[in-house]
């Protein structure tokens, strides 16, 4: 569904399982820190709202969005998490770099999901401009971090 038709922070609270006995890994890209920081804050707040203990939310940062693949893979292999969440932001520029990064991260995270026992939740914003990223990281369209937290809890329970 297009984000423009759905606020990322709107969901039915009653349909989210209790997360008090769950442990989450979050890998966040340092690139576009205004956006990724907001995504992380939304994600943490929502996990805690559903019972996750702060000490059971482990955050690691990586330099950019492409490195989210490696970070998620390492968390899946070594962390003992119920779910792993990736958070990043790629904003279209003047070169095809945007396309390569978005495709690479999408493929890499899909591959990890297909080959592991732990769900990895895709929280990569892929926007045309900074305004669109702001709208999806706590602005008028909600926060993708909230959505990722809810998905992670549901998938961990799955």
Residue whose entry in the numeric block shows the structure tokens 């907001």: 38
Partner residues linked to 27 by β-bridges: 60, 86
Which one is catalytic: 50, 58, 73, 97?
Answer: 97
Structure token digits, residue 31:
């690139």
Counted residue by residue, the chain has a size of: 158
Instruction: Determine whether 58 is an active site residue.
Output: no
140 phi and psi angles, rounded to 5 deg: -65, -20
With beta carbons less than 8 A apart as the criterion, state whether 65 and 89 touch: yes
Using alpha carbons, select from 120, 153, 127 the residue that is nearest to residue 141.
Answer: 127
- Enumerate the active-site residues: 97
């Amino acid at each position: 569904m297009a984000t423009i038709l759905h606020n990322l922070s709107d969901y039915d609270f009653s349909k989210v399982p209790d997360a008090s006995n769950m442990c989450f890994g979050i890998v966040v890209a340092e690139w576009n820190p205004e956006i990724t920081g907001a995504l992380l804050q939304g994600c943490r707040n929502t996990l805690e709202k559903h019972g996750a203990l702060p000490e059971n939310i482990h955050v690691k940062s990586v330099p950019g969005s492409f490195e989210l693949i490696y970070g998620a893979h390492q968390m899946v292999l070594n962390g003992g998490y119920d779910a792993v969440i990736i958070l990043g932001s790629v904003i279209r520029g003047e070169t095809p770099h945007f396309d390569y990064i978005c495709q690479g991260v999408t493929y890499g995270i899909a591959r990890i999901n297909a080959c592991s026992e732990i769900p990895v939740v895709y929280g990569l914003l892929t926007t045309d401009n900074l305004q669109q990223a702001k709208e999806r990281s706590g602005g008028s369209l909600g926060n993708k971090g909230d959505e990722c937290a809810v998905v992670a809890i549901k998938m961990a329970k799955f």
